[in-house]
Amino acid sequence: MKRTIWECILVTLVLGLLLGVRGTGWSYEKWPLGLPSADRKVEKAVALEVVRKVALKKAKEVWGTVAQGPELAGCDLNGKVIVYIIPFRIGIGPFPDYEEIMEGVRESRRYYAEGLQELREQPEKEPLALKPDTKTSEKHNLGKDKRSGKGEYGTVVVWARSDWFPIPEYSECLPRYYTTGDLAQEKAQTVLGRGSIRLTRIYYAGPLDQLYEFTQGDRTILVDPFSLKIYSPEEITKVIPVPYPERKLPSDLEEEIKRAWAEAKK
């Protein structure tokens, strides 16, 4: 059967899209928490391809060879995107899917718990501070480092708007999405009950000021991914500050921000 040139082009585009989506491995079936959303129609928005480029450049500068993972959108109180939280695998190999990462996180939690229990069982005359090199201490420390992803993963946070500096933070660890996201989901389940609970938003105001919004149907609950404390939607301003007011920056600071973005995009 003969095809017109336009039919061939259409088939090629469809196959390319299908293979591209399949190749990423970032389907929602493989990410049971869900991938948080945010309204990306904001003033001075930075294009996502630029965000990824800036994050990759910084990750390579800090950790060398890396593989980029799916970006997590962080929003302000109005649901407007404010940052992208981008994880990286350090070293050779593709970025793992959620379940592969979680296998390591769960194993590290077991190491940490077992090491902590062994430490508690030590005689009081041999406190941990005096025994830093014992096998018990090694097991405890291994669990502590591994559950954060230290040495294996890094995270770069990129500002989603060109009105501030490109990279507000980066660290050699996994985002809380991986290290405590499942625990936060379990906390949400205690309020929302059994059923399909998805992470719908990450409210972001800084490295330690975040709230995860979980949704089940038309019901929502907020969980602090650090303390795992539960908040009702009405209590959100206890953790996340009110939206940034519209402000006129000093001209010298505006120029400095422009230079920072220009350098980051190189």
- The rounded distance, in Å, linking the Cα atoms of 190 and 187 is 5
| Domain assignments of the chain as residue spans, ordered by start | 31-265
pLDDT, one tens digit for every residue, the chain (266 residues) = 444 444 433 333 333 333 333 334 445 567 889 889 999 999 999 999 999 999 999 999 999 999 999 999 999 988 999 999 999 999 999 999 999 999 999 988 887 777 777 777 776 655 545 444 444 556 666 667 777 899 999 999 999 999 999 999 999 999 999 999 999 999 999 999 888 899 999 999 988 899 999 999 999 999 999 999 999 999 887 777 765 556 677 888 899 999 999 999 99
Q: Quick one: CA dihedral 77, 80, 81, 83, positive or negative?
A: negative
Residue type, 237: T
Q: Are strands 209-216 and 81-90 parallel, antiparallel or unpaired?
A: unpaired
* DSSP label at residue 39: B
CA distance linking residue 253 with residue 201, whole number of Å: 31
Whether this model's pTM surpasses 0.75: yes
Q: Packing angle between helix 48-63 and helix 251-265, nearest 10 degrees?
A: 70
Q: What number of residues does the chain have?
A: 266
